Amino acid sequence: MTIPTLISNYQKSVTIQKLKKIYSTLNQAYQMSTVDNGSFNQWQKHADIGGTKFFEKYWQPYLAGATVCKTYQECGYKEQKPWQTLAGERKDDVGVCDNTDDNRVSFYLQDGSFISISSSLYVDINGGQGPNIYGKDFFILKYGEKGVLPADNNFEKDRLLSYCSKNNNNEAALCAARLILYDNWQIKEDYPW
């Protein structure tokens, strides 16, 4: 194997390990919250009580050492919208923080991973360190009645691959975690890396 291949394989392995740990941590927090607060259907809605109260009641007590940050600088990023596709394109729909209407709460876990929670979970497995690329270190998860799951978790593999390919990385933040889970926690050749 060449050195670039070895480095890429190592980076993929680290990505899998970190994403799997975050996925497990969030699901454990979700399960503990349902024990104290009832089933997800009994929770107050995020839109009704605001992001801060929702996070403080249903998530923060179950995420040991979670540290809230309120600005992109405080969160360890160089800009408000750091994430991009493999092609270097940026989308304007996700920023590090959104404090304008108490929509999202951004925080770090003890391991340095960054999460911003609203109706979805925006996950950067290594925080502001980079490369800040969809499907490499930035993923979108969701939560609901079944716990924490990858976004687009109902897609079949063919549809996933049409969204999550090296040629079409625009949706990789949404579908990459699902593709990794579909492939039994592996990053295979058809993955948008």
pLDDT value, residue 162: 77
The whole-number average pLDDT for the span 6-34 is 95
* Preceding omega of 131 cis (within 30 degrees of 0): yes
Least confident of 54-58, 80-84, 167-171: 167-171
The lowest-confidence range among 4-8, 103-107, 125-129, 167-171 is 167-171
74 vs 35: CA distance, rounded Å:
33
State residue 153's pLDDT score: 65
Q: Is 91 helix (H, G, I), strand (E, B) or coil?
A: coil
The confidence band for 169, taking pLDDT boundaries of 50, 70 and 90, is: low
pLDDT tens sequence across 34-50? 999 999 999 999 889 99
Q: pLDDT above 90 covers what percent of the chain?
A: 60
Please give the DSSP secondary-structure letter assigned to residue 62.
G
The first and second tokens of residue 3, run together, are 């050195």
- Which pLDDT does position 99 carry in this prediction? 63
Please write the tens of the pLDDT for every residue from 108-149.
999 999 999 988 999 999 999 989 998 899 999 999 999 999
pTM score: 0.92
Q: Could you give the strand order of the β-sheet that contains 138-144, starting from the edge strand earlier in sequence? A: 67-69, 105-108, 114-117, 120-124, 138-144, 147-150
Q: Average model confidence (pLDDT) for the chain?
A: 89
Residue-level pLDDT at 25: 97
Domain boundaries, the chain: 3-152
Strand partners of residue 148: 143
Q: What is the chain's alpha carbon radius of gyration, rounded to the nearest angstrom?
A: 16
